[in-house]
């Protein structure tokens, strides 16, 4: 079948080309997509594009932009078979994570990609990433999409978006999915690991637009002071804290520290325990240094990434769940973002 793909360009390095006259990098004109990348004409798909105005460096990403992006997908959902989102790499893992929560019942591919070198640079990785993303977004079998979820396609890997983080600022292999197998390996062939890909549920897409930013991340380090911990926990309006702990979810056992967390928990702040490690899971109670946390109401995040944890907290808070339900849902895989042991 011929697929219709919508390419959504949000900004970032990938969409830049060198102005031959001045040598400066300027955004690529997506209306002239086929003349920039003639090989696209060989695909059995029709490609349209949507360009955000203004384009942004993804370091300026924010919830307002996420809502617009989800809106573009919703408005075009019936018209297209798949979506490719071109995005700066810096916050791509956050955007892919939050979009996975915002787009409930997603039954079509939404493939994020970007590049480390601009499209217009000779050794660019953008061309390959872009072409691979288009092929994956348009990959159907028996009229069913092969990857009907939010993913990131980068270098030779296709990953579940809400399992990723950017771990390298230099290499073309910039993204890691430390706790979940690749959805596909991109080599001579694109080899889909179908057993790891979410199955379509054929329900109607539902877009969630309320994101609550009353959240914070606190990364532990040896020597963290009482002042720092208490200041963060006392931020006005704070509703959820992502606590980045050591190893399998461990934290200091100092009395002042546990009291501060316990007092915040009693005030209704949800504390979500996420490991600083790029692989492995929080196992509260494995060591004495995490057993206390469970006792004072800290919620274990299993193997969720920080990017996904903050996105999930914003989404669930935005939905207005009660504290009890929020805690339950944080520990429940909603879009394949965590593995419950």
Catalytic residues: 13
User: Which residue in the set 2, 31, 57, 328 belongs to the binding site for ligand ASP (CB under 6 A)?
Assistant: 57
Stretch that binds ligand ASP, among 18-26, 57-65, 96-104, 140-148 (CB under 6 A): 57-65
Q: Does 90 bind ligand ASP (CB under 6 A)?
A: yes
**Residue 90: CB minimum distance to ligand ASP, A:** 3
CB 152 within 8 A of CB 172: no
Identify residues 17-46 at the interface with ligand ASP (CB under 6 A): none
Give 82 or 114: the residue with its C-beta nearer to ligand ASP. Answer: 114
Position with the least CB separation from ligand ASP: 88
Q: Does 307 bind ligand ASP (CB under 6 A)?
A: no
CB 62 within 8 A of CB 121: no
Q: Does 300 bind ligand ASP (CB under 6 A)?
A: no
Give 57 or 75: the residue with its C-beta nearer to ligand ASP. Answer: 57
Q: Does 281 bind ligand ASP (CB under 6 A)?
A: no
Give 58 or 245: the residue with its C-beta nearer to ligand ASP. Answer: 58
User: Which residue in the set 9, 73, 88, 145 belongs to the binding site for ligand ASP (CB under 6 A)?
Assistant: 88
Give 121 or 277: the residue with its C-beta nearer to ligand ASP. Answer: 121
Cα distance between residue 276 and residue 278, in whole Å: 7
**Residue 333: CB minimum distance to ligand ASP, A:** 28
CA atoms within 13 A on the CB side of 297: 19
The phi, psi pair for 244, rounded to 5°, reads -85, 105
Q: Does 114 bind ligand ASP (CB under 6 A)?
A: yes
Q: Which of 114, 116, 98, 118 is nearest to 106 (CA)?
A: 98
Cα distance between residue 41 and residue 103, in whole Å: 30
Cα distance between residue 288 and residue 149, in whole Å: 38
The conformation of residue 172, written as its DSSP 8-state character, comes to: S
Q: Does 164 bind ligand ASP (CB under 6 A)?
A: no
The conformation of residue 49, written as its DSSP 8-state character, comes to: E
Q: Does 89 bind ligand ASP (CB under 6 A)?
A: yes
**Residue 268: CB minimum distance to ligand ASP, A:** 35
Q: In what order do the strands lie in the sheet with 190-192?
A: 45-51, 3-9, 82-86, 110-113, 150-154, 157-160, 184-186, 190-192
Strands (E), the chain: 3-9, 16-18, 25-27, 45-51, 82-86, 103-104, 110-113, 140-141, 144-145, 150-154, 157-160, 165-166, 175-176, 184-186, 190-192, 206-207, 215-219, 240-245, 270-275, 299-300
The phi, psi pair for 42, rounded to 5°, reads -80, -15
Q: Does 113 bind ligand ASP (CB under 6 A)?
A: no
Give the residues across from 119 on adjacent strands: none
Instruction: Round to the nearest angstrom and report the end-to-end CA distance of the chain.
Output: 40
Stretch that binds ligand ASP, among 55-63, 154-162, 196-204, 255-263 (CB under 6 A): 55-63
User: Which residue in the set 12, 109, 161, 318 belongs to the binding site for ligand ASP (CB under 6 A)?
Assistant: 12
Q: Which of 307, 312, 276 is nearest to 58 (CA)?
A: 307
Q: Give the number of residues in contact with ligand ASP, rule: CB under 6 A.
A: 10
Q: Does 135 bind ligand ASP (CB under 6 A)?
A: no
**Residue 152: CB minimum distance to ligand ASP, A:** 12
Give 25 or 238: the residue with its C-beta nearer to ligand ASP. Answer: 25
Please give the residue ranges that form the binding site for ligand ASP (CB under 6 A). 11-13, 57-59, 88-90, 114
């Amino acid at each position: 079948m011929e697929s219709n793909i919508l390419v959504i360009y949000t900004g970032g390095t990938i969409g830049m080309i060198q102005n031959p006259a001045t040598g400066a990098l300027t955004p690529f004109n997506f209306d002239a997509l086929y003349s920039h990348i003639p090989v696209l004409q060989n695909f059995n798909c029709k490609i349209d594009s949507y360009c955000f105005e203004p384009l942004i460096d993804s370091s300026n990403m924010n919830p307002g932009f996420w809502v617009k992006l989800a809106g573009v997908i919703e408005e075009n959902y019936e018209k297209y078979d798949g979506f490719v989102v071109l995005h700066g790499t810096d916050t791509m893992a956050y955007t892919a994570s939050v979009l996975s929560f915002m787009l409930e019942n997603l039954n079509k591919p939404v493939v994020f990609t970007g590049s480390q070198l601009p499209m217009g640079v000779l050794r660019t990785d953008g061309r390959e990433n872009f072409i691979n993303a288009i092929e994956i977004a348009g990959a159907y079998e028996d009229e069913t999409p092969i990857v009907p979820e939010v993913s990131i396609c980068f270098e030779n890997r296709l990953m579940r978006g809400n399992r990723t983080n950017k771990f390298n600022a230099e290499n073309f292999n910039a993204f890691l999915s430390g706790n979940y197998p690749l959805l596909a390996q991109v080599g001579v062939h694109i080899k889909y690991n179908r057993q790891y890909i979410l199955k379509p549920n054929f329900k109607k897409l539902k877009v969630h637009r309320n994101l609550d930013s009353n959240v914070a991340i606190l990364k532990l380090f040896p020597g963290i002071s009482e002042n720092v911990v208490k200041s963060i926990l006392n931020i006005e309006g704070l509703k959820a804290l992502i606590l980045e702990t050591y190893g399998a979810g461990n934290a200091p056992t100092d009395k002042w520290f546990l009291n501060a967390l316990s007092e915040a928990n009693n005030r209704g702040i949800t504390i979500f325990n996420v490991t600083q490690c790029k692989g492995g899971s929080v196992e509260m109670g494995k060591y004495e240094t995490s057993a206390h946390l469970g006792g004072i109401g800290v919620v274990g995040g299993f193997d969720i990434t920080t990017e996904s944890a903050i996105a999930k907290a914003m989404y669930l808070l935005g939905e207005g769940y009660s504290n009890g339900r929020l805690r339950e849902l944080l520990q429940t895989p909603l879009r394949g973002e965590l593995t419950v042991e």
